[in-house]
């Protein structure tokens, strides 16, 4: 466990300082605010249940939680949307779902770095482990819950599934600016029955944007910090447009920073959000959310354990160019571009019938760039050898090129559901989801100039055809149907729900590279998914529940179906596997207490997975291009307990504690192709035994602060448990001062965010391999060693932001 005395000392001193400073501020405050949210600091003129764009209530009694602060008005405690109504400083909102469920509200979100993405904001919740790579929380969505990662978790934004529908990467930094994010809810273990997913064996993350204000105005936020960080954000609110009942907002932001201690290069991002809402009658509403994202960043270089011990955080791409240097940082870039439209609609057709309809469209595209030396002659286009290229500068028989992957993906979908209240105590629900996806991916190579300042001519062609390692055209169709019934008994204290969903996924595609076998690939999956839950309201404050759920995940990534070639190899460097869909059966029993003083929740869980697919991310041999390869490890069993506690505001303080114990093991020996490795009973990869978080929030209306400390236990990174990632501890702090309003200037404030106090250098996540040391298989053959590569955690960063409403 690599936790130094310095890191512990810095964290403890920081917490003590926050308490001391906050207490002093309390003694000297000029305009006190109610510690429990009195009428002088009410959240909004709208109802607490007025998030018209949130998904409708799901069946099985799993309701999307009402958000205490979903639209910012001039009556709020701050222009950022803070109301101080949520226990735990915004980390423990009221929940009613008969399953493990946690969340964050504006009380917490507004006090985090304005660069944070959805994934980084839920890192304090029980059982959630976030693998940060940059200190500002903008790149990477690597997350683990109960031994499962982000590709096994469903992401829902404004009622639509907006993660990549093929490799399941969520890319949450492309969805919404933090200033426009209303709330995030995490369901550990199981998704809603009517949620539009076919990968959520590990749970669900639901996010929603702020609703537009009913009054015209806006919000501005500017920030600067270490590593040349800067962000400029502006939101303009229309208010109610005449008597139309329509209101909306449009926002724009620019963000950039350099990588600092992590090497040369950096990131820039341009982002636009727009949301308009129309509400009428009893529960009728139409929302329209549009988002555009343009983002480019230098790729993070992932070390092996040996490279980490040698170079530490300095393991990076080369800052200077030399002929043949494929590791030059300007050749290794990631572009994340996205356009999305979501239109959630809710209709009250009668007193007994409610309809939810959510059409959506999302366009995601690259390119990803990596430097690579390819043979000047005698290389390969698929399995065909080529002659002289007569292009570029030849160094040691190779030509340095920019290897480009201009992936292009478009998805359109429609999710519908209806709730029929047969009687006061019985509700029947049914629905249908359809989605269509196209994916194109044609890699190419362009020679780099001798001085490294640019590219030489166009892409390399052979007899008119683009030299490529893969030429993929992929299509996917999804249909799911569900029915469910919810019955309330014993004066509505007992709620019983049962439902059944059937998911149908059809995939097909081609690889046009010469020698590709198979040339055409396809996969068809049909999965029945029953669910059941029961909850009992012992008192108004106490609830117990039990549930049994099933989920499945279709194989991840195009690479699961198609070969990958490279000019340096006469045969495919990555071979597809015959993968079966992953299927999970999970059970939970839990208890929660919620009152005016504190909230407490605890649950016991068990998850059994068959055909468990572990994603191994690695570099194509001899290149800087990383690809994800799914591996079927067989069965996996995960059992544990999680708990969280949040105190309502007491003398302006609100603490929070969460933790989880997890025991996750492989059920089968691993087939290497040449024999079995004895992995049955080994601890599963990416499954830390203990995780915990402590938070302390202070807010007296003017002075405010937030401190959190996170601990993640060590975790194995190979199936044979012969290499593991050390445990680590990180802590963050926010301090600020909020002023009174001055005319049209609403609650201007200054905020300081410090991340990774003590500058802890640590590994935050990894890819996975079968064995890091050579082992004999059941047939006596040798399974050669294969080293995992690791994500390096973000270093220390400081940021100051100035914001105000108007």
Read off the pLDDT of residues 673-709 as tens digits, 9 standing for 90 and up: 889 999 999 999 999 999 999 999 999 999 999 999 9
Residue 713: Cβ within 10 Å count:
20
The sheet carrying 142-145 orders its strands as 128-131, 142-145, 148-149
Percent of the chain with pLDDT over 70: 89
What is residue 628's predicted lDDT score, i.e. its pLDDT?
65
DSSP H or E run through 20: helix 5-27
The sheet carrying 154-157 orders its strands as 102-104, 181-188, 203-209, 154-157, 160-161
pTM of this structure: 0.90
CA 749, CA 490: separation in Å to the nearest integer?
50
What is residue 230's predicted lDDT score, i.e. its pLDDT?
96
Read off the pLDDT of residues 359-405 as tens digits, 9 standing for 90 and up: 999 999 999 999 999 999 999 999 999 999 988 889 999 999 999 99
DSSP H or E run through 703: strand 703-712
Q: How big is the CA angle at 93 (ends 89 and 94), to the nearest 5 degrees?
A: 145
Residue 626 binned pLDDT confidence (cut-offs 50, 70, 90)? low
Say whether 757 sits in a helix, a strand or coil: coil
Domain 5-805, what architecture?
Answer: Beta Barrel (2.40)
Beta strands (DSSP E) in 86-211 are 102-104, 128-131, 142-145, 148-149, 154-157, 160-161, 181-188, 203-209
Q: How far apart are the first and last CA of the chain?
A: 49
**Beta strands 203-209; 154-157: pairing state:** parallel
**Beta strands 797-805; 746-755: pairing state:** antiparallel
Q: Can you give the length of the chain in residues?
A: 806
What is residue 172's predicted lDDT score, i.e. its pLDDT?
92
Residue 242: Cβ within 10 Å count:
6
Taking CA atoms, 214 is separated from 72, 639, 740, in Å, by 9, 47, 21
Query: What's the distance, CA 405 to chain centroid?
Result: 23
DSSP annotation of 299: P
What is residue 748's predicted lDDT score, i.e. its pLDDT?
96
What is residue 265's predicted lDDT score, i.e. its pLDDT?
94
Is residue 454's pLDDT more than 90?
no
* Both structure tokens of 153: 């978790």
Is residue 22's pLDDT more than 60?
no
Q: Where are the domains of the chain?
A: 5-805
CA 302, CA 621: separation in Å to the nearest integer?
14
Say whether 191 sits in a helix, a strand or coil: coil
The mean pLDDT value for 142-161 works out to: 93
CA 242, CA 497: separation in Å to the nearest integer?
44
Name 513's Cβ contacts closer than 8 Å, sequence gap at least 6: 381, 382, 468, 469, 470, 471, 563, 565
DSSP annotation of 107: H
Residue 43 binned pLDDT confidence (cut-offs 50, 70, 90)? very low
């Amino acid at each position: 466990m690599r936790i130094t005395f310095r890191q512990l000392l810095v964290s403890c001193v920081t917490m003590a300082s926050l308490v001391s400073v906050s207490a002093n501020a309390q003694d000297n405050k000029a305009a006190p605010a109610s510690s429990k949210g009195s009428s002088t600091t009410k959240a909004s003129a709208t109802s607490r249940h007025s998030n018209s764009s949130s998904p409708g209530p799901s069946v099985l009694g799993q309701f999307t939680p009402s958000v205490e602060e979903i639209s910012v008005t001039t009556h709020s405690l701050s222009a950022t949307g803070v109301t101080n109504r949520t226990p735990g400083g915004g980390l423990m909102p009221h929940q009613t779902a008969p399953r493990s469920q946690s969340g964050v509200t504006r009380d917490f979100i507004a006090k985090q770095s304005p660069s944070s993405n959805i994934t980084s904001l839920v890192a304090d919740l029980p059982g959630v482990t976030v693998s940060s790579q940059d200190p500002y929380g903008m790149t990477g969505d690597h997350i683990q819950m109960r031994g499962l990662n982000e590709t096994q978790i469903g992401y829902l934004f404004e009622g639509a599934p907006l993660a990549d529908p093929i490799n399941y990467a969520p890319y949450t930094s492309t969805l919404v600016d933090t200033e426009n994010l209303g709330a995030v809810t995490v369901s550990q273990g199981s998704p809603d029955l009517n949620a539009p997913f076919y990968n959520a064996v590990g749970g669900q993350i639901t996010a929603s944007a702020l609703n537009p204000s009913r009054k015209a105005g806006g919000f501005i936020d500017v920030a600067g910090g270490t590593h040349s960080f800067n962000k400029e954000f502006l939101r303009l609110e229309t208010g109610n447009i005449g008597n139309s009942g329509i209101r909306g907002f449009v926002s724009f932001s620019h963000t950039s920073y350099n990588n600092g201690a992590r090497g040369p290069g950096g990131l820039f991002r341009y982002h636009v959000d727009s949301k308009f809402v129309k509400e009428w009658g009893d529960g009728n509403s139409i929302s329209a959310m549009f988002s555009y994202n343009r983002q480019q960043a230098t790729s993070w270089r992932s070390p092996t354990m040996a490279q980490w011990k040698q170079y530490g955080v300095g393991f990076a791409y080369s800052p200077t160019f030399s002929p043949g240097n494929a590791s030059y940082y300007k050749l290794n870039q990631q572009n994340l571009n996205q356009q999305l439209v979501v239109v959630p609609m809710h209709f009250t057709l009668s007193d007994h019938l409610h309809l939810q309809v959510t059409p959506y469209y999302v366009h995601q595209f690259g390119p990803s760039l990596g430097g690579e030396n390819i043979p000047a002659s005698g290389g390969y286009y698929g399995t065909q050898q080529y002659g002289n290229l007569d292009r570029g500068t030849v160094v040691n028989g190779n030509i340095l090129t920019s290897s480009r992957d201009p992936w292009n993906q478009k998805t359109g979908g429609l999710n519908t559901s209806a709730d029929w209240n047969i009687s006061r105590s019985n509700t029947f629900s049914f629905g249908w989801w359809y989605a269509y996806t196209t994916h194109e991916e044609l890699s190419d190579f362009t020679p780099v100039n001798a001085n490294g300042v640019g590219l030489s001519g166009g892409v390399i062609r052979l007899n008119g055809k683009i030299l490529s390692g893969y030429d993929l055209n992929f299509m996917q169709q999804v249909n799911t149907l569900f029915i469910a019934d919810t019955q309330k008994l014993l004066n509505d204290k007992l709620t019983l729900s049962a439902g059944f969903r059937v998911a149908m996924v059809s995939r097909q595609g081609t690889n046009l590279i010469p020698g590709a076998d198979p040339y055409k690939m396809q996969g068809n999956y049909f999965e029945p998914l029953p669910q059941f839950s029961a909850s009992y309201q012992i008192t108004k404050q106490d609830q117990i529940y039990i549930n049994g759920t099933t989920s499945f995940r279709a194989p991840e990534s195009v690479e699961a179906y198609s070969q990958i070639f490279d000019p340096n190899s006469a045969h495919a460097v990555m071979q597809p596997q015959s993968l079966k869909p992953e299927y999970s059966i999970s059970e939970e029993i839990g208890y929660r207490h919620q009152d005016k003083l504190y909230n407490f929740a605890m649950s016991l869980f068990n998850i059994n997975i068959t055909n468990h697919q572990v994603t191994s991310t690695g570099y194509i041999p001899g290149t800087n291009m990383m690809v994800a390869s799914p591996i079927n490890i067989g069965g996996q069993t995960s059992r544990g307990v999680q708990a969280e506690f949040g105190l309502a505001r007491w003398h302006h303080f609100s603490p929070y504690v969460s933790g989880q114990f997890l025991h996750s093991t492989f059920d089968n020996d691993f087939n290497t192709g040449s024999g079995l490795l004895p992995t049955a009973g080994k601890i599963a990869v990416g499954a830390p035994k203990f995780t915990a978080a402590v938070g302390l929030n202070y807010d007296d209306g003017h002075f405010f602060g937030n401190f959190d400390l996170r601990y993640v236990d060590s975790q194995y990174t190979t199936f044979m448990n012969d290499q593991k990632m050390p445990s680590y501890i990180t802590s963050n702090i926010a301090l600020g001062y909020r002023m009174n309003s001055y005319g049209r200037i609403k609650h201007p404030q200054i905020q300081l965010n410090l991340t990774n106090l003590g500058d802890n250098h640590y590994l935050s996540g990894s890819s996975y391999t079968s064995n890091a040391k050579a082992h004999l298989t059941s047939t006596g053959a040798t399974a050669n060693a294969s080293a995992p590569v690791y994500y390096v955690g973000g270093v220390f960063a400081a940021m100051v932001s100035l914001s105000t409403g108007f």
